[in-house]
Structure 1
Amino acid sequence: MGQTLAEFLDAAAAGRFPPPDGGTTVVAQENPRDAGVIAFTAHSVVFTDEDPDWVRSTLAAVDADALAAAMNARFLAALLDRTGRRTDTIDLLTVADPLPGEPPLALREIDDPDHPRVRRALGRRDDVRVWAADGGVLVLGRGVAGRWEAAIEVDEDARGRGLGLELAVAARHLVPGGAPVWSQQATGNARSVRVFQAAGYRPIGAESLMLAPAAAPASAPAPR
């Protein structure tokens, strides 16, 4: 199993997961923006530049089953307090393989850094590109450990017609270089979870992403 977060993610995208031994692996952050925790089945990966000994001692002090300690609210709060970071929610982390050809959906690319969707995405991702469809938006960019991440948003009056599914599938056609495309869905957002799974995104684990204060959104959360 890999020694960096990128290696863990690459392996998981290919169906190779950490051993389900109840352990926690601590790895360095891939960039200053992103820290957090990914919980795979019976194994967690904490990615942070904080002292690994502090991470392990704090986990040991959490009054929870070892399988759940890294996602326990007490540990997450301690990591947020120590780093001064912010977070939104615990997400379901999903991944899909790329698809060949052009997306079967009419899209127009938005090249406007002042567009509100672009501004929010730039706080979380690099190499951001945004496409608009009639009633929805697709955001694609490089997020945690350089992985390609997709996020979608559908206007309220355009919902219920399958546009979210079409946007999620379109991301699989647009991801560069034959790379897998990742997406996070808030675990309580059942509509979004259903859409991405219907579009072929496989559940990988749970993720608590902690953003540096300057990267955190000022108002509404990024689209998912």
Structure 2
Amino acid sequence: MTETLRDILEAAAHGIFPAPDGGTTVVPQPSPRDAGVFAFTAHSVIATDEDPDWVHATLRAQDCDALAATMNARFLTALMDRTGRESDTIDVMTVASALPGEPPLALTELDDPAHPRVVSSRRRRDEVRVWAAEGGVLVLGRGVAGRLEVAVEVGEEARHRGLGRELARCARQLSGGEPVWAQVSAGNARSMRAFQAAGYRPVGSEVLLSARPRSAGCSRSRS
């Protein structure tokens, strides 16, 4: 039975990773929206509906360390050109198990589809839920391959008080027993420290490829 991206991510959430053999596994996209490159220790997974033979041939053509080829800018550019997609940034993948109990923060769930955080989250996630706390916002939704993802936002006036860490921890208590994923830009040291302090552990890196908005010169629309 062929592994899916969901299988691989669910296993990684429980500490079981692809074999560190220097290889690359190509799997189908779990949905038209979700494509990307996921790098674990000495093994990468590429979710794309493109020809796997093309993927492997393009990787072999990279003039760089084979273990780093999938995250090499030249390969990512070739993949985006091939698929007509675009990327934001390379993020660190982190994940944490669920926690029992009720969140210690006073959270108010927002039921406002026009809220800016709801609108932006729904571009990348399904089943989005948003909670407000004094000075911050917590978002949960289903992202790549249906995994449960968290994002937090802390207002400038509430920073340096540990609120980001507390919100990230609250997500673990709101997850309904599922592991929670968070993607953090490698250069965002403040956010990385907050998530690690809340119990999220780094498991790899990823770059997501999204369909380009319909515009002049682009024939594909965002899913």
TM-score under structure 1 normalisation? Answer: 0.93
Q: How many residues align?
A: 214
Q: Is the 8 A contact 1:2 1:8 kept in 2?
A: no
Q: Secondary structure at the match of 1:68?
A: helix
- The root-mean-square deviation of aligned C-alpha atoms, in Å, is 1.3
Q: CA deviation at 1:2?
A: 6.6
Rounded Cα–Cα distance in structure 2 between residues aligned with 1:95 and 1:141: 14
Name 1:141's counterpart in structure 2: 141
Q: CA deviation at 1:148?
A: 0.1
Structure 2 alignment gaps of length 5 or more: 215-223
Q: Deviations over 1:160-216 (max 9, x none)?
A: 01110110000000113x11000000000000000000000011100011112249x
Rounded Cα–Cα distance in structure 2 between residues aligned with 1:95 and 1:168: 11
User: Which aligned runs of 4 or more in structure 1 are off by greater than 3 angstroms?
Assistant: none
Instruction: Provide the identity percentage.
Output: 69
Matched, 1:43 2:38: no
Structure 1 alignment gaps of length 5 or more: 216-224
Q: CA deviation at 1:124?
A: 0.3
Q: Secondary structure at the match of 2:67?
A: coil
Matched to 1:195, the amino acid is A
Distance 1:111 1:214, change over 3 A: farther
Rounded Cα–Cα distance in structure 1 between residues aligned with 2:211 and 2:112: 24
Q: Secondary structure at the match of 2:161?
A: coil
Rounded Cα–Cα distance in structure 1 between residues aligned with 2:75 and 2:127: 32
Rounded Cα–Cα distance in structure 2 between residues aligned with 1:83 and 1:154: 35
Rounded Cα–Cα distance in structure 1 between residues aligned with 2:79 and 2:139: 29
Rounded Cα–Cα distance in structure 2 between residues aligned with 1:111 and 1:50: 39
Matched, 1:129 2:129: yes
